[in-house]
Amino acid sequence: MSASEQILIVGGGQGIGAALAAAHEGRATVWTRSTGVDATDPASLQAAFATYQAEHGAPYALLHCVGDFAEQPLLSTDAATWRHLLASNLDSAFHVIQAVVPAMVAAGRPGRVVLFAAAGVDKDKGMLRAPAYFAAKAAVVQLARSLALETAAAGVTVNVVAPGLIDHPHSHRDSQRRMLPRVPAGRLGSTGDIVAAVGYLLSPAAAYVTGQVLTVDGGLQA
């Protein structure tokens, strides 16, 4: 990845996405609702990408960092909460992919797509803590695995970063405090831990890595 290669970060206004934007300052463009882009709305994304493409062409990398979280047992999750979590985590990934990735493939040069899941969702087990959220994230993994197959021949890799408990000012701190004893590494993760993992996936060294889940969780036993 050269310094001039562009990175489009969807959901980069705070937390992990903001740390990624800071790490790639000068070549990162951030889309959030605060910048006028709603990742759950295909029309909003298509309009934003038309403007982006006129200025930059297709990005080298697309990072999708949107994904609201809620802890609630499945049997007491109401339909509105379910729909919101699916829209925020899964629908938005689908719509962002459809708005941006065709241009990356058509560009005919190497590219990177990184989606965000959550530690443990690619394992063969249930998740008690936030089942609707984890169901959406498991679907994100499957979306990425399939997209990876569709874009491999074009040189566009698609991978998933699965964070554990990542500390930043907008983190869900009560939940993280409760879960911390289950982290063998003995600490919360930092946004720097995620920036480093994404940096590897964006690097030329990862050109042959696609359809994978890179878990960054200090060994979390969720």
What is the spatial distance between Cα 124 and Cα 217, in angstroms, rounded to a whole number?
A: 17
Q: How far is the CB of 211 from ligand NAP (least distance, A)?
A: 19
What is the spatial distance between Cα 81 and Cα 213, in angstroms, rounded to a whole number?
A: 26
- Binding residue for ligand NAP (CB under 6 A) from 1, 5, 23, 33? 33
Q: How far is the CB of 69 from ligand NAP (least distance, A)?
A: 6
Which string of x and - marks every residue 112-151 that binds ligand NAP (by CB under 6 A)?
----x-x---------------------------------
Number of residues lying near ligand NAP (CB under 6 A): 27
What is the spatial distance between Cα 77 and Cα 75, in angstroms, rounded to a whole number?
A: 6
Among the candidate windows 10-18, 48-56, 76-84, 198-206, which touches ligand NAP by CB under 6 A? 10-18
Strand partners, 8: 29, 62
- Binding residue for ligand NAP (CB under 6 A) from 20, 66, 160, 202? 66
- Binding residue for ligand NAP (CB under 6 A) from 7, 8, 21, 37? 37
What is the spatial distance between Cα 82 and Cα 206, in angstroms, rounded to a whole number?
A: 35
Whether 133 is catalytic = yes
59 binds ligand NAP (CB under 6 A): no
Which string of x and - marks every residue 163-182 that binds ligand NAP (by CB under 6 A)?
x-xx---xx-----------
What is the spatial distance between Cα 86 and Cα 129, in angstroms, rounded to a whole number?
A: 16
What is the spatial distance between Cα 15 and Cα 21, in angstroms, rounded to a whole number?
A: 10
Per the CB < 8 A criterion, the answer to whether 158 and 144 are in contact is yes
- And the tokens for 210? 């696609």
Cα 21–chain centre separation: 13
Which amino acid would we find at residue 70? A
65 binds ligand NAP (CB under 6 A): yes
- What positions carry a catalytic annotation? 133
* Residue ranges in contact with ligand NAP by CB under 6 A: 11-17, 32-34, 37-40, 65-67, 69, 88, 92, 116, 118, 163, 165-166, 170-171
